[in-house]
Amino acid sequence: MAGPVGRLGPFNPEHDDWTLYCERVDFYYIGNGADTYKTLRCLLVPEAPTYKSYEELKKKLEDHFAPKRSQIYYLSEFYRCIRKPHMSVAEYMSRLRLLAKDCGFGGQLDVMLKDRLICGINDTAIRKRQLSEGDDLTLYSMPHPWS
């Protein structure tokens, strides 16, 4: 992938004309991200990006490319996560932590991770070993296959 086209330095009020600088910024973004700029332009119709603040433009693109989903969506992704055959238990645990980020578990995070670790492990021997610990089993006391 090619790097950015051109160079855009910071605005210097002592040497730069504001209007010309804004035009340079516009052309810089158009030249370095035509597809994204086109998407942004479509999202803002009938207004043009030049009439919006940077924060407004960023928010518009964020809503389009990474929309915030409902908590039930994130919970569903977390609960459906099963360890893949090629995935180490450490990788699975890392994946669960990432998925739990937007679930709202709060102080129950370790309990939920422990439960998913047990339920999502597709290795019967590992699961039996973990379940043999009884009701006092915690995320940190459970026998980990990597230890």
Residue 145 confidence (pLDDT): 55
Question: Distances from the Cα of 133 to the Cαs of 8, 130, 140, 141, 144, in angstroms?
Answer: 61, 6, 12, 9, 12
Distance from C-alpha of 102 to C-alpha of 38, rounded to nearest angstrom: 31
Query: 62-93, pLDDT tens digit by residue?
Result: 888 888 889 999 999 999 998 888 888 889 99
Residue 56 has which token pair? Answer: 């407004």
Residue 3 confidence (pLDDT): 60
- Average the pLDDT over 2-19 and give the result: 76
Tell me if 121 sits within 8 A of 89, measured CB to CB.
Answer: yes
Q: What share of the chain is helix, strand, coil (3-state, %, to 5)?
A: 60, 0, 40
Distance from C-alpha of 47 to C-alpha of 16, rounded to nearest angstrom: 27
- Average the pLDDT over 36-60 and give the result: 84
